[in-house]
């Protein structure tokens, strides 16, 4: 039976989170909140060089300190295995080298030992007392990534090089984004408890199932010996998908000492050894005709990766299908640097990629002297030109129109610095983005209980996105019961295998699994009818019965007598009845339709040239991501993504000392993130167009798409206000000061309000952009 979408009371309505009261009262238990009798504390020791060899370790002083139970290192921690990468299991692991595996040092902070003591203070002091000798080599730290790097082509159609050469209007620029660190406020933590060869890990992870698989391999035990629990996660943003080295250190220390061990990374350690978004350098070349049509698009990029790990930040993921163009190509390469392993961070690839492509599109709009929104409309594709297949749904045109209307875009005057308000110069910019939609393979069970409650269980987790609440909505809706009658059990690898919280795929994966679990439970309720005392039910043929909103009735008489599931179970003496549902994954399938979500971002900045002060004052974000199950949590998530996008545009970047390879701003004061006071007015529009190709409710993901496009829109707005095209994020005051005194008269040719075929193209000259080096 399909989910009733027409007459629902819970789905699509703003719902307060069911886990709200425990979160606001300090009762929600996060990983580091767990403590056990006899528990020890572990503190890792990190290398103080970025590249070279560990020659020797002296742990004697540390071992003799009060309360210290052990200092483990490569020589005494026991075997830690390299995890295999099995696509069939979709195991995600971005640092494959096990900790302490050899004496090679590949990045600053790489673990060389771990101190374990009775208290956190004792373990911290012991870790500080471990002495290491190194043979240091020069770190590899330059971020001019494209220079001298050979790129490998990944996508192409037509002949982009030739088409560009023949284009009357061209853009050819390089855009850079820095290393960014997730900085979930919850520190990475592992509490490891062994009981007779079985290990329970309370861990800060975005996928309890993925973590179970990886840690089983790392520790050399069987799957049934490993249980992973993450009841609440203090957010992750991709940084808590991989099982980082400290998880192994905690688990191995607890096994060796036969006592529970708690290990909480410091904020500095999280910067060094628990992942980051890699730095990128991207060259975008666009060629356009006089008719404002893209004739060539090339997107070539290099991202940093660790010396012994491969991680690709797919910056050009959306470039093959975002716009219509006959000639397209992209290529990429990795640049090995002596920094820790890179990993996924919110909107991996799409976020830095959109900044580059959408900045280039804005530059093209200025060259063509056409409105940036009109330029995008003009190049809207009818189908996914990269695969030659239709989109399952794509409402980017509507998104741009809705955003432009809400933002007041028609009031925009395109000349740089031409808009003023309250003595400030305004800049208005736009950018669009795309993110994949689909499903992870998932299972879930739903129990209907005689007391009228239901229990849904799934080995997924809520990382702050509202998964607890969405599950209660899905089950409550179908059974016609209030959300507080639904018990939600998640965050435990013992539960039916559920989706990883990554890629914005949890809700779209769970919708079919829950629906099928409820189908099976409903079918069993029909079967149970034969046991009912009333012959009206027990004599009825199963095919004549149906369950609607949790009530058993006759198909032929929908408004007639019906029994609630609780009445059926009570009258048949059954306590509970279970249905299991599976949904298939889409990750490895060959698509017949191109499934994506889209966004359009409109940003306003204010600019005070006298003091070179740039602020983001307003963002309108339009999300085309199918049906929104809980608009209250959904809107919050998009607002949060915009907040993070403001940080990306103006503040964030991990800075490394090129001589030592150490992250210099590895704390929350020097790695600047958006605070309350930096937050602009944020307006969120959900187009709410269901995409039934993804699942029966038409729900797609929203976690990543809300961030993609924000930095590009802000950078474009900054150009509109200042005349300075900043192609390296974050947009720092230095970049704005550099050109502040040399404001340049802009060309006075007329602007096109709508693209026409009469445009006179502006010839491209390399030194013709307002911010060309003078």
Partner 1 sequence: MDPRTTLLDCLRETIHLTGTKKGCDHGQCGACTVHINGRRVNSCLTFAAMHQADEITTIEGLGEPGRLHPMQAAFVEHDGYQCGYYTSGQIMSAVALLKEPCGPSDMDVKEYLGGNICRCGAYPNIVAAVQAVRRHSLL
Contact with partner 1 (CB under 8 A) among 36, 120, 134, 314: 120
**CA dist., res. 521 & res. 524, Å (int):** 5
Told to check if 184 binds partner 1 by CB under 8 A, we report yes
Q: Which of 58, 104, 121, 768 binds partner 1 (CB under 8 A)?
A: 121
**Contact status: 679 vs partner 1 (CB under 8 A):** yes
Is 667 one of the binding residues for partner 1 (CB under 8 A)? yes
633 binds partner 1 (CB under 8 A): yes
Q: Give the count of residues interacting with partner 1 (CB under 8 A).
A: 61
Q: Is residue 25 involved in binding partner 1 (CB under 8 A)? A: yes
Q: Is 637 in the site for partner 1 (CB under 8 A)?
A: yes
The single residue among 47, 80, 125, 328 that binds partner 1, judged by CB under 8 A, is 125
Any alpha helices (H) in 298-385, and if so which ranges?
Answer: 319-322, 350-368, 372-378
Site for partner 1 in 460-499 (CB under 8 A): 463-466
Using the rule CB under 8 A, is 22 a contact of partner 1? yes
Q: Which residues contact 668 (CB under 8 A, 6 or more apart)?
A: 183, 267
Return the residue of 20, 38, 408, 542 that touches partner 1, per CB under 8 A. Answer: 20
Site for partner 1 in 219-278 (CB under 8 A): 232-235, 237, 264, 266-267
Q: Does 642 bind partner 1 (CB under 8 A)?
A: yes
* Kind and range of the H or E run holding 63: helix 60-63
Q: Which is nearer to partner 1, 120 or 134 (CB)?
A: 120
Distances from the Cα of 103 to the Cαs of 97, 133, 551, in angstroms? 12, 11, 65
Closest to 397 (Cα-Cα) out of 412, 377, 371: 377
* 704 part of the active site: yes
The rounded distance, in Å, linking the Cα atoms of 286 and 323 is 11
Parallel, antiparallel or unpaired: strands 551-554 and 545-548: antiparallel
- Single out the segment in contact with partner 1 by CB under 8 A; choices: 432-440, 533-541, 577-585, 670-678: 670-678
Q: Which of 367, 350, 332, 362 is nearest to 428 (CA)?
A: 362
- Rounded to whole angstroms, the maximal C-alpha distance in the chain is 92
Contacting range for partner 1; rule: CB under 8 A; set: 113-121, 211-219, 475-483, 747-755: 113-121
Least Å distance, CB 584 to partner 1, is 29
Q: Which is nearer to partner 1, 121 or 451 (CB)?
A: 121
Q: Which is nearer to partner 1, 247 or 643 (CB)?
A: 643
Quick one: 30 or 314, whose CB is closer to partner 1? 30
Burial-class residue 28 by CB neighbours within 10 Å (0-12, 13-18, 19+): middle
Per CB under 8 A, 639 contacts partner 1: yes
Rule CB under 8 A: say whether 616 interacts with partner 1: no
Binding partner 1 by CB under 8 A: which of 1, 21, 222, 768? 21
> Which listed residue (704, 734, 745, 749) is catalytic?
704
Alpha carbon distance 159, 308 (integer Å): 35
**Composition of the chain by helix, strand, coil, percent to 5:** 30, 25, 45
Taking the least distance from each CB to partner 1, the nearer of 231 and 412 is 231
Q: From 749, 748, 728, select the one nearest 738 (Cα to Cα).
A: 728
Record the tokens describing residue 629, joined without a space.
């199950």
Category of 385 on φ-ψ map: left (φ > 0), alpha (ψ -120 to 50) or beta? alpha
ω into 5 cis (within 30 of 0): no
What residue ranges bind partner 1 (CB under 8 A)?
16-17, 19-30, 32-33, 35, 119-122, 124-125, 182-187, 232-235, 237, 264, 266-267, 463-466, 632-633, 636-637, 639-644, 667-669, 673-677, 679, 682
Q: Which residues are catalytic?
A: 704
């Amino acid at each position: 039976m399909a989910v009733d979408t027409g007459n629902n009371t819970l789905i699509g309505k703003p719902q307060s989170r069911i886990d709200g009261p425990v979160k606001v009262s300090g009762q929600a238990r996060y990983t580091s909140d767990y403590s056990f009798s006899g528990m020890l504390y572990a503190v890792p020791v990190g290398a103080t060089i970025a590249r070279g060899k560990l020659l020797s370790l002296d742990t004697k002083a540390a071992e003799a300190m009060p309360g210290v139970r052990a200092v483990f290192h490569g020589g005494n921690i026991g075997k830690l295995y390299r995890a295999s990468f099995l696509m069939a299991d979709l195991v995600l692991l971005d640092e494959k080298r096990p900790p302490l595996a050899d004496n090679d040092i590949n990045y600053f902070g790489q673990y060389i030992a771990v101190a374990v003591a009775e208290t956190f203070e004792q373990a911290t002091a012991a870790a500080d007392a471990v002495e290491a000798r190194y043979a240091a080599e020069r770190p590899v730290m330059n971020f001019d990534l494209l220079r001298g790097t050979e790129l490998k082509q990944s996508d192409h159609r037509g002949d982009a090089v030739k088409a560009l050469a023949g284009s009357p209007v061209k853009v050819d620029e390089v855009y850079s984004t820095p290393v960014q660190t997730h900085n979930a406020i919850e520190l990475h933590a592992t509490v490891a408890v062994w009981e007779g060869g079985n290990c329970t890990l309370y861990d800060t992870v975005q996928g309890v199932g993925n973590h179970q698989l990886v840690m089983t391999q790392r520790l050399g035990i069987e799957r049934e010996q490993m249980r992973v629990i993450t009841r609440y996660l203090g957010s992750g943003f991709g940084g808590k998908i991989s099982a980082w080295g400290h998880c192994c250190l905690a688990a191995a220390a607890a096994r060796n000492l036969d006592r529970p061990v708690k290990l909480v990374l410091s904020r500095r350690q999280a910067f060094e050894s628990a992942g980051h978004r890699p730095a990128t350098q991207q060259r975008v070349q666009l060629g356009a005709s006089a008719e404002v049509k893209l004739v060539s698009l090339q997107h070539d990029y290099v991202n940093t990766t660790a010396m012994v790990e491969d991680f690709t930040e797919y910056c050009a993921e959306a470039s093959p299908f975002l716009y219509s163009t006959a000639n397209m190509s992209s290529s990429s390469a990795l640049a090995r640097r002596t920094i820790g392993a890179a990993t996924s961070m919110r909107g991996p690839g799409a976020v830095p990629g959109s900044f580059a492509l959408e900045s280039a599109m804005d530059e093209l709009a200025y060259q063509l002297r056409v409105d940036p929104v009109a330029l995008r409309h003009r190049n809207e594709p009818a189908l996914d030109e990269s695969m030659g297949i239709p989109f399952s749904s794509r409402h980017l045109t509507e998104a741009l129109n809705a955003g432009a209307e809400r933002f007041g875009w028609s009031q925009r005057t395109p000349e740089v610095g031409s808009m003023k308000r309250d003595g400030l110069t305004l800049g208005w910019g736009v950018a669009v983005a795309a993110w994949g939609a689909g499903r992870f393979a998932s299972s879930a069970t739903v129990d209907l209980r005689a007391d009228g409650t239901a229990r849904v269980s799934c080995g997924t987790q809520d990382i702050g996105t509202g998964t607890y609440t969405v599950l209660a909505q899905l089950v409550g809706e179908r059974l016609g019961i209030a959300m507080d009658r639904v018990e939600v059990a998640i965050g435990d690898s013992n539960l039916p295998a559920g989706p990883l919280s990554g890629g914005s795929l949890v809700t779209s994966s769970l919708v079919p699994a829950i629906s099928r679990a409820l189908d099976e439970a409903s079918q069993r309720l029909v079967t149970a009818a034969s046991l009912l005392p009333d012959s009206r039910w027990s004599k009825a043929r199963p095919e004549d019965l149906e369950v609607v909103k949790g009530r058993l009735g006759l198909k032929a008489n929908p408004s007639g007598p019906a029994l609630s599931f609780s009445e059926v179970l009570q009258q048949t003496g059954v306590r509970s009845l279970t249905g299991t549902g599976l949904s298939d994954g889409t990750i490895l399938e060959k698509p017949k339709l191109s499934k994506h979500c889209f966004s359009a971002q409109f940003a306003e900045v204010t600019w005070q040239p006298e003091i070179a002060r740039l602020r983001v004052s307003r963002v309108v974000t339009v999300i085309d991501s199918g049906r929104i199950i809980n608009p209250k949590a959904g809107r919050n998530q998009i607002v949060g993504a915009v907040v993070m996008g403001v940080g990306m545009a103006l503040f964030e970047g991990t800075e490394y000392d090129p001589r030592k390879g150490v992250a210099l701003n590895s704390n929350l004061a020097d790695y600047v993130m958006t605070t309350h006071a930096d937050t602009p007015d944020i307006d969120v529009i959900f187009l709410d167009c269901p995409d039934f190709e993804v699942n029966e409710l038409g729900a797609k993901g929203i976690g990543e798409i809300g961030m993609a496009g924000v930095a590009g829109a802000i950078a474009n707005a900054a150009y509109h206000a200042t005349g300075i095209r900043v192609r390296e994020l974050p947009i720092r005051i230095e970049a704005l000061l550099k050109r502040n005194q040399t404001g340049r008269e802009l060309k006075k040719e007329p602007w096109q309000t709508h693209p026409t075929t009469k445009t006179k193209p502006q010839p491209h000259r390399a030194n013709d952009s307002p911010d060309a080096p003078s």
